[in-house]
Amino acid sequence: MNRCTIIRGGRILDPRNRRDESGDLYIRDGRIAGALTATEAKEAEVIDADGLVVCPGFVDIHVHLREPGQTHKETIASGTRAAAAGGFTSVVCMPNTTPPADNPGTIRRINDAVARAAAVRVYPTGCLTAGMDGEKLAPIGSLFKEGIVAVTDDGKCVQSNELMRRAVEYALMFKLPVLDHCQDASMTEDSVMNEGYWSLRLGLKGWPSAAEDVIIGRNVVLSRHFGAHIHMQHVSSAYGVDILRRARARGIRVSGEATPHHLFFTDANCADYDTHFKMNPPLRTEADRKAIIEGVLDGTLELIATDHAPHTPDEKDREFDYAAFGIIGLETAFAASLEVLHHEANAPLDLVISALTHRPAAILGLPGGHLGEGAPADVALVDPTERRRVDPDRFQSKARNCPWNGRELRGTIQRTLVAGATVWDGKEIRSA
Protein backbone atom coordinates (compact mmCIF):
# COMPACT_ATOMS: atom_id res chain seq x y z
CA MET A 1 0.00 0.00 0.00
CA ASN A 2 1.34 3.43 -0.90
CA ARG A 3 2.05 5.85 1.95
CA CYS A 4 -0.33 8.74 1.38
CA THR A 5 -1.15 12.06 3.00
CA ILE A 6 -3.84 14.65 2.38
CA ILE A 7 -3.20 18.24 3.48
CA ARG A 8 -6.77 19.43 3.66
CA GLY A 9 -8.45 22.79 3.29
CA GLY A 10 -5.51 25.17 3.13
CA ARG A 11 -4.60 27.97 0.74
CA ILE A 12 -2.22 26.23 -1.66
CA LEU A 13 0.36 28.77 -2.82
CA ASP A 14 2.84 27.48 -5.40
CA PRO A 15 4.33 30.46 -7.25
CA ARG A 16 6.39 28.49 -9.77
CA ASN A 17 3.29 26.73 -11.04
CA ARG A 18 1.08 29.82 -10.61
CA ARG A 19 -1.22 28.01 -8.25
CA ASP A 20 -3.09 29.99 -5.62
CA GLU A 21 -6.29 28.32 -4.52
CA SER A 22 -8.06 26.79 -1.57
CA GLY A 23 -8.12 23.03 -1.65
CA ASP A 24 -6.37 19.80 -0.79
CA LEU A 25 -2.78 18.79 -1.49
CA TYR A 26 -2.11 15.10 -2.10
CA ILE A 27 1.09 13.20 -1.33
CA ARG A 28 1.96 9.66 -2.38
CA ASP A 29 5.21 7.95 -1.38
CA GLY A 30 7.02 11.19 -0.63
CA ARG A 31 5.99 13.03 -3.79
CA ILE A 32 3.21 15.41 -4.77
CA ALA A 33 0.31 13.60 -6.42
CA GLY A 34 -2.41 15.00 -8.64
CA ALA A 35 -5.04 12.85 -6.91
CA LEU A 36 -5.42 9.73 -4.78
CA THR A 37 -7.54 6.68 -5.43
CA ALA A 38 -10.57 6.18 -3.22
CA THR A 39 -8.74 3.43 -1.32
CA GLU A 40 -5.65 5.59 -0.87
CA ALA A 41 -7.73 8.54 0.35
CA LYS A 42 -9.49 6.35 2.88
CA GLU A 43 -6.18 5.13 4.34
CA ALA A 44 -4.28 8.43 4.08
CA GLU A 45 -3.04 10.56 6.95
CA VAL A 46 -5.06 13.78 6.99
CA ILE A 47 -3.47 17.07 8.05
CA ASP A 48 -5.90 19.92 8.73
CA ALA A 49 -4.63 23.12 7.07
CA ASP A 50 -7.72 25.27 7.58
CA GLY A 51 -6.65 28.91 7.86
CA LEU A 52 -3.08 28.15 6.81
CA VAL A 53 -1.00 28.70 3.70
CA VAL A 54 0.37 25.48 2.18
CA CYS A 55 3.51 26.26 0.21
CA PRO A 56 6.72 24.58 -0.93
CA GLY A 57 9.28 24.01 1.79
CA PHE A 58 11.82 26.82 1.89
CA VAL A 59 15.27 26.51 0.32
CA ASP A 60 18.29 28.28 1.82
CA ILE A 61 21.45 28.28 -0.29
CA HIS A 62 23.65 30.01 2.31
CA VAL A 63 23.95 28.22 5.66
CA HIS A 64 26.85 27.52 8.02
CA LEU A 65 26.34 24.18 9.77
CA ARG A 66 29.84 24.26 11.35
CA GLU A 67 30.44 20.51 11.01
CA PRO A 68 33.11 19.20 10.91
CA GLY A 69 35.38 20.90 13.40
CA GLN A 70 33.21 23.62 14.96
CA THR A 71 30.46 21.58 16.59
CA HIS A 72 30.60 23.71 19.73
CA LYS A 73 28.72 26.29 17.61
CA GLU A 74 26.35 24.10 15.60
CA THR A 75 26.06 20.59 14.21
CA ILE A 76 24.37 19.15 11.18
CA ALA A 77 21.75 17.72 13.54
CA SER A 78 21.02 20.98 15.40
CA GLY A 79 21.32 23.18 12.33
CA THR A 80 18.89 21.10 10.30
CA ARG A 81 16.46 20.98 13.24
CA ALA A 82 16.60 24.80 13.20
CA ALA A 83 15.97 24.71 9.46
CA ALA A 84 12.91 22.49 9.89
CA ALA A 85 11.53 24.77 12.60
CA GLY A 86 11.98 27.68 10.20
CA GLY A 87 10.08 25.99 7.36
CA PHE A 88 13.22 25.07 5.40
CA THR A 89 13.32 21.65 3.77
CA SER A 90 16.60 22.11 1.87
CA VAL A 91 19.78 23.92 2.91
CA VAL A 92 23.13 24.39 1.22
CA CYS A 93 26.05 24.29 3.64
CA MET A 94 29.14 26.44 3.27
CA PRO A 95 32.64 24.91 3.16
CA ASN A 96 34.39 27.05 5.83
CA THR A 97 34.53 24.15 8.24
CA THR A 98 37.56 22.80 10.11
CA PRO A 99 39.20 21.48 8.01
CA PRO A 100 37.79 23.39 5.03
CA ALA A 101 35.78 21.37 2.53
CA ASP A 102 38.50 21.59 -0.12
CA ASN A 103 39.01 17.84 -0.63
CA PRO A 104 36.83 14.82 -1.43
CA GLY A 105 37.38 13.28 2.01
CA THR A 106 35.82 16.22 3.83
CA ILE A 107 32.84 16.26 1.46
CA ARG A 108 32.31 12.54 2.11
CA ARG A 109 32.53 13.20 5.85
CA ILE A 110 29.84 15.88 5.57
CA ASN A 111 27.61 13.64 3.47
CA ASP A 112 27.99 10.79 5.96
CA ALA A 113 26.97 13.09 8.83
CA VAL A 114 24.00 14.31 6.81
CA ALA A 115 22.85 10.73 6.19
CA ARG A 116 23.04 9.99 9.92
CA ALA A 117 21.64 13.11 11.51
CA ALA A 118 20.01 15.63 9.16
CA ALA A 119 16.35 16.55 9.66
CA VAL A 120 16.11 18.15 6.20
CA ARG A 121 17.90 17.85 2.88
CA VAL A 122 21.49 19.16 2.92
CA TYR A 123 23.58 19.94 -0.15
CA PRO A 124 27.33 20.60 0.31
CA THR A 125 29.46 23.19 -1.42
CA GLY A 126 33.19 22.92 -2.00
CA CYS A 127 35.95 25.46 -1.59
CA LEU A 128 36.98 27.58 -4.53
CA THR A 129 40.64 27.65 -3.42
CA ALA A 130 42.76 25.24 -1.37
CA GLY A 131 42.34 25.97 2.33
CA MET A 132 40.27 29.01 1.35
CA ASP A 133 43.62 30.82 1.19
CA GLY A 134 43.01 32.43 -2.20
CA GLU A 135 46.36 31.24 -3.56
CA LYS A 136 45.67 28.13 -5.64
CA LEU A 137 42.57 26.39 -6.90
CA ALA A 138 40.90 23.58 -5.00
CA PRO A 139 40.37 20.28 -6.90
CA ILE A 140 36.93 21.30 -8.14
CA GLY A 141 36.54 18.27 -10.40
CA SER A 142 37.12 15.86 -7.53
CA LEU A 143 34.72 17.80 -5.32
CA PHE A 144 32.10 17.70 -8.07
CA LYS A 145 32.32 13.90 -8.16
CA GLU A 146 31.40 13.87 -4.45
CA GLY A 147 28.19 15.78 -5.11
CA ILE A 148 28.84 19.46 -4.40
CA VAL A 149 26.30 21.86 -5.90
CA ALA A 150 28.49 24.99 -6.06
CA VAL A 151 31.93 26.32 -5.19
CA THR A 152 32.67 29.21 -2.85
CA ASP A 153 35.20 30.58 -0.39
CA ASP A 154 32.34 32.15 1.57
CA GLY A 155 33.68 34.11 4.51
CA LYS A 156 36.61 35.08 2.33
CA CYS A 157 36.90 36.59 -1.11
CA VAL A 158 39.48 35.66 -3.76
CA GLN A 159 41.51 38.83 -4.14
CA SER A 160 43.46 37.88 -7.27
CA ASN A 161 41.47 38.67 -10.39
CA GLU A 162 43.55 36.20 -12.40
CA LEU A 163 42.93 33.36 -9.94
CA MET A 164 39.23 34.19 -9.85
CA ARG A 165 39.17 34.06 -13.65
CA ARG A 166 40.71 30.58 -13.62
CA ALA A 167 38.32 29.50 -10.87
CA VAL A 168 35.19 30.50 -12.76
CA GLU A 169 36.49 28.87 -15.94
CA TYR A 170 37.20 25.65 -14.03
CA ALA A 171 33.78 25.70 -12.35
CA LEU A 172 32.10 26.31 -15.71
CA MET A 173 33.55 23.01 -17.00
CA PHE A 174 31.32 21.23 -14.46
CA LYS A 175 28.41 23.67 -14.78
CA LEU A 176 28.88 24.67 -11.15
CA PRO A 177 27.81 28.15 -10.05
CA VAL A 178 30.37 30.22 -8.16
CA LEU A 179 29.04 31.81 -4.97
CA ASP A 180 31.10 34.84 -4.00
CA HIS A 181 31.49 36.76 -0.76
CA CYS A 182 32.26 40.16 -2.31
CA GLN A 183 34.88 42.01 -0.27
CA ASP A 184 38.04 43.86 -1.25
CA ALA A 185 40.19 42.99 1.77
CA SER A 186 42.60 45.88 1.19
CA MET A 187 39.74 48.29 1.99
CA THR A 188 38.39 46.52 5.07
CA GLU A 189 41.38 45.65 7.25
CA ASP A 190 40.31 45.84 10.94
CA SER A 191 36.89 47.22 9.90
CA VAL A 192 33.95 46.21 12.08
CA MET A 193 30.90 48.16 10.85
CA ASN A 194 29.64 50.28 7.97
CA GLU A 195 31.68 53.39 7.24
CA GLY A 196 29.53 56.45 7.84
CA TYR A 197 27.83 58.54 10.47
CA TRP A 198 27.49 55.77 13.04
CA SER A 199 31.04 54.46 12.73
CA LEU A 200 32.34 58.00 13.33
CA ARG A 201 30.00 58.55 16.26
CA LEU A 202 30.86 55.21 17.87
CA GLY A 203 34.59 55.44 17.19
CA LEU A 204 34.66 52.15 15.30
CA LYS A 205 36.67 51.36 12.16
CA GLY A 206 34.42 51.86 9.14
CA TRP A 207 33.83 49.39 6.31
CA PRO A 208 33.09 51.21 3.04
CA SER A 209 30.40 49.80 0.78
CA ALA A 210 32.83 50.39 -2.10
CA ALA A 211 34.75 47.33 -0.88
CA GLU A 212 31.73 45.24 -1.87
CA ASP A 213 30.86 47.17 -5.00
CA VAL A 214 34.26 46.80 -6.68
CA ILE A 215 34.16 43.01 -6.32
CA ILE A 216 30.59 42.82 -7.62
CA GLY A 217 31.79 44.85 -10.59
CA ARG A 218 34.77 42.54 -11.10
CA ASN A 219 32.51 39.50 -11.06
CA VAL A 220 30.18 41.05 -13.61
CA VAL A 221 33.17 41.56 -15.93
CA LEU A 222 34.39 37.98 -15.44
CA SER A 223 30.95 36.55 -16.05
CA ARG A 224 30.55 38.71 -19.15
CA HIS A 225 33.87 37.58 -20.64
CA PHE A 226 33.91 33.91 -19.64
CA GLY A 227 30.23 32.96 -19.40
CA ALA A 228 30.27 31.56 -15.88
CA HIS A 229 27.37 31.95 -13.47
CA ILE A 230 28.56 34.03 -10.50
CA HIS A 231 26.18 34.53 -7.61
CA MET A 232 26.74 37.44 -5.20
CA GLN A 233 26.13 36.46 -1.62
CA HIS A 234 24.48 38.74 0.97
CA VAL A 235 24.36 41.92 -1.13
CA SER A 236 24.27 44.89 1.25
CA SER A 237 24.84 48.10 -0.71
CA ALA A 238 22.60 50.23 -2.90
CA TYR A 239 25.23 50.61 -5.59
CA GLY A 240 25.86 46.87 -5.59
CA VAL A 241 22.16 46.32 -6.32
CA ASP A 242 22.37 48.84 -9.16
CA ILE A 243 25.42 47.13 -10.70
CA LEU A 244 23.57 43.80 -10.66
CA ARG A 245 20.40 45.32 -12.08
CA ARG A 246 22.22 46.78 -15.07
CA ALA A 247 24.27 43.62 -15.64
CA ARG A 248 21.20 41.40 -15.60
CA ALA A 249 19.44 43.73 -18.03
CA ARG A 250 22.32 43.04 -20.44
CA GLY A 251 21.86 39.28 -20.05
CA ILE A 252 25.03 38.65 -18.03
CA ARG A 253 24.90 35.45 -15.94
CA VAL A 254 25.04 37.00 -12.48
CA SER A 255 22.59 36.77 -9.61
CA GLY A 256 22.33 38.03 -6.05
CA GLU A 257 20.71 37.35 -2.72
CA ALA A 258 19.34 39.45 0.12
CA THR A 259 19.47 38.42 3.75
CA PRO A 260 16.63 39.04 6.21
CA HIS A 261 18.96 41.08 8.43
CA HIS A 262 19.99 43.46 5.65
CA LEU A 263 16.32 43.87 4.75
CA PHE A 264 15.39 44.57 8.36
CA PHE A 265 18.18 46.47 10.14
CA THR A 266 20.62 49.35 9.54
CA ASP A 267 23.92 50.48 11.04
CA ALA A 268 21.92 52.61 13.49
CA ASN A 269 21.15 49.37 15.31
CA CYS A 270 24.81 49.25 16.35
CA ALA A 271 24.35 52.43 18.42
CA ASP A 272 24.60 50.58 21.75
CA TYR A 273 27.58 48.47 20.67
CA ASP A 274 25.30 45.42 20.61
CA THR A 275 27.36 42.69 18.93
CA HIS A 276 24.22 40.89 17.78
CA PHE A 277 24.27 43.51 15.01
CA LYS A 278 27.88 42.84 14.01
CA MET A 279 27.95 40.93 10.72
CA ASN A 280 29.85 40.57 7.48
CA PRO A 281 29.03 42.43 5.30
CA PRO A 282 27.94 45.00 7.87
CA LEU A 283 24.53 46.55 8.26
CA ARG A 284 24.46 49.70 6.16
CA THR A 285 22.32 52.82 5.86
CA GLU A 286 18.57 53.22 5.51
CA ALA A 287 19.13 54.12 1.84
CA ASP A 288 20.97 50.83 1.34
CA ARG A 289 18.21 48.93 3.15
CA LYS A 290 15.55 50.44 0.91
CA ALA A 291 17.60 49.62 -2.19
CA ILE A 292 17.86 45.98 -1.11
CA ILE A 293 14.09 45.85 -0.58
CA GLU A 294 13.57 47.30 -4.05
CA GLY A 295 16.06 44.79 -5.44
CA VAL A 296 14.00 41.91 -4.09
CA LEU A 297 10.74 43.46 -5.28
CA ASP A 298 11.94 43.91 -8.87
CA GLY A 299 13.80 40.58 -9.03
CA THR A 300 17.33 41.98 -9.18
CA LEU A 301 18.02 40.08 -5.98
CA GLU A 302 16.29 36.84 -6.87
CA LEU A 303 16.24 35.17 -3.51
CA ILE A 304 16.47 35.44 0.25
CA ALA A 305 19.19 33.49 2.07
CA THR A 306 19.92 33.59 5.77
CA ASP A 307 23.73 33.34 6.01
CA HIS A 308 22.92 31.44 9.23
CA ALA A 309 26.17 31.85 11.19
CA PRO A 310 26.09 30.33 14.69
CA HIS A 311 28.55 31.43 17.39
CA THR A 312 28.94 30.65 21.07
CA PRO A 313 27.95 33.30 23.65
CA ASP A 314 31.56 34.03 24.60
CA GLU A 315 32.41 34.73 20.94
CA LYS A 316 29.71 37.42 20.76
CA ASP A 317 29.71 38.75 24.32
CA ARG A 318 32.89 40.78 23.85
CA GLU A 319 33.95 44.30 22.91
CA PHE A 320 32.50 45.19 19.50
CA ASP A 321 35.96 45.27 17.92
CA TYR A 322 36.73 41.70 18.97
CA ALA A 323 33.35 39.95 18.75
CA ALA A 324 32.76 37.42 15.98
CA PHE A 325 30.92 38.47 12.84
CA GLY A 326 27.58 36.82 12.12
CA ILE A 327 24.10 35.93 13.34
CA ILE A 328 21.70 33.00 13.18
CA GLY A 329 18.63 33.29 10.99
CA LEU A 330 16.96 30.02 10.01
CA GLU A 331 14.19 30.18 12.61
CA THR A 332 13.33 33.85 12.00
CA ALA A 333 13.83 34.18 8.23
CA PHE A 334 10.22 33.76 7.15
CA ALA A 335 8.75 36.14 9.73
CA ALA A 336 11.47 38.78 9.34
CA SER A 337 11.24 38.74 5.53
CA LEU A 338 7.45 38.81 5.67
CA GLU A 339 7.47 41.73 8.09
CA VAL A 340 9.55 43.88 5.74
CA LEU A 341 8.42 42.80 2.29
CA HIS A 342 4.77 41.90 2.82
CA HIS A 343 3.63 44.00 5.77
CA GLU A 344 5.90 47.04 5.28
CA ALA A 345 6.46 47.15 1.50
CA ASN A 346 3.06 45.63 0.58
CA ALA A 347 4.56 42.96 -1.67
CA PRO A 348 2.23 40.05 -2.39
CA LEU A 349 2.77 36.93 -0.33
CA ASP A 350 3.69 34.88 -3.39
CA LEU A 351 6.72 37.13 -4.03
CA VAL A 352 8.10 36.35 -0.56
CA ILE A 353 7.39 32.65 -1.04
CA SER A 354 9.10 32.74 -4.45
CA ALA A 355 12.25 34.26 -2.97
CA LEU A 356 12.36 31.46 -0.40
CA THR A 357 11.47 28.50 -2.63
CA HIS A 358 11.71 28.01 -6.38
CA ARG A 359 14.09 30.89 -7.07
CA PRO A 360 16.91 29.67 -4.80
CA ALA A 361 16.29 26.10 -5.98
CA ALA A 362 16.67 27.23 -9.60
CA ILE A 363 19.95 29.09 -8.93
CA LEU A 364 21.68 25.82 -7.96
CA GLY A 365 19.50 23.41 -9.90
CA LEU A 366 18.11 21.76 -6.78
CA PRO A 367 14.99 19.59 -6.79
CA GLY A 368 11.90 20.91 -5.06
CA GLY A 369 10.86 24.47 -4.44
CA HIS A 370 7.43 23.82 -5.95
CA LEU A 371 4.34 21.66 -5.55
CA GLY A 372 3.94 20.36 -9.07
CA GLU A 373 2.87 16.76 -9.57
CA GLY A 374 5.83 14.43 -9.07
CA ALA A 375 7.89 16.98 -7.14
CA PRO A 376 9.37 16.01 -3.77
CA ALA A 377 6.71 16.47 -1.10
CA ASP A 378 8.70 19.10 0.77
CA VAL A 379 6.01 21.34 2.20
CA ALA A 380 5.60 24.14 4.74
CA LEU A 381 2.33 25.06 6.43
CA VAL A 382 2.52 28.67 7.55
CA ASP A 383 0.37 31.30 9.22
CA PRO A 384 1.39 34.67 7.72
CA THR A 385 -0.55 36.71 10.28
CA GLU A 386 0.09 35.03 13.63
CA ARG A 387 2.27 37.16 15.92
CA ARG A 388 4.99 35.62 18.03
CA ARG A 389 7.73 37.11 20.18
CA VAL A 390 11.20 35.89 19.25
CA ASP A 391 12.75 33.87 22.07
CA PRO A 392 16.12 32.30 21.16
CA ASP A 393 15.97 30.12 24.27
CA ARG A 394 13.26 28.15 22.46
CA PHE A 395 15.29 27.72 19.27
CA GLN A 396 16.40 24.38 17.88
CA SER A 397 19.79 25.85 16.98
CA LYS A 398 22.63 25.48 19.48
CA ALA A 399 23.39 29.19 19.05
CA ARG A 400 21.58 32.24 20.45
CA ASN A 401 23.22 35.11 18.51
CA CYS A 402 19.90 36.48 17.21
CA PRO A 403 19.32 40.21 16.57
CA TRP A 404 15.52 39.78 16.65
CA ASN A 405 15.57 38.65 20.28
CA GLY A 406 12.46 39.97 22.06
CA ARG A 407 10.85 41.44 18.93
CA GLU A 408 7.33 40.53 17.92
CA LEU A 409 7.12 39.32 14.34
CA ARG A 410 4.25 38.14 12.17
CA GLY A 411 4.49 34.78 10.47
CA THR A 412 4.81 31.32 12.04
CA ILE A 413 5.68 27.85 10.80
CA GLN A 414 2.92 25.43 11.78
CA ARG A 415 4.34 22.32 10.13
CA THR A 416 7.25 21.24 7.92
CA LEU A 417 7.25 18.07 5.84
CA VAL A 418 10.21 16.49 4.04
CA ALA A 419 9.37 13.78 1.50
CA GLY A 420 5.85 13.76 2.91
CA ALA A 421 6.91 13.09 6.51
CA THR A 422 6.40 15.69 9.23
CA VAL A 423 9.73 16.81 10.68
CA TRP A 424 8.39 19.85 12.58
CA ASP A 425 4.89 19.91 14.01
CA GLY A 426 4.86 23.54 15.10
CA LYS A 427 6.18 22.77 18.58
CA GLU A 428 8.89 20.15 18.29
CA ILE A 429 10.97 18.07 15.94
CA ARG A 430 9.64 14.69 14.92
CA SER A 431 11.99 11.83 14.14
CA ALA A 432 11.95 10.60 10.56
Identify whether the C-beta of residue 82 lies closer than 8 Å to the C-beta of residue 63: no
61: enclosing H helix or E strand: strand 58-63
Please give the distance of CA 383 from its chain centroid, rounded to a whole number: 21
Q: Does an H or E element contain 115, and which?
A: helix 104-117
Where does 121-257 have alpha helices with state H? Answer: 140-145, 161-173, 197-202, 210-226, 238-249
Distance CA 307, CA 280 (A): 10
In angstroms, the CA 89 to CA 368 distance is 9
φ, ψ at 288 (rounded to 5°)? -65, -45
Count CB atoms within 10 A of the CB of residue 421.
Answer: 16
The Cα-based distances of 272 to 198, 236, 312, 322, 401 in angstroms read 11, 21, 20, 15, 16
User: Among residues 130, 214, 216, 125, which one has the least CA distance to residue 166?
Assistant: 130
Phi, psi for residue 303 in degrees, rounded to 5? -145, 165
Residues with catalytic roles: 307
Residue type, 155: G
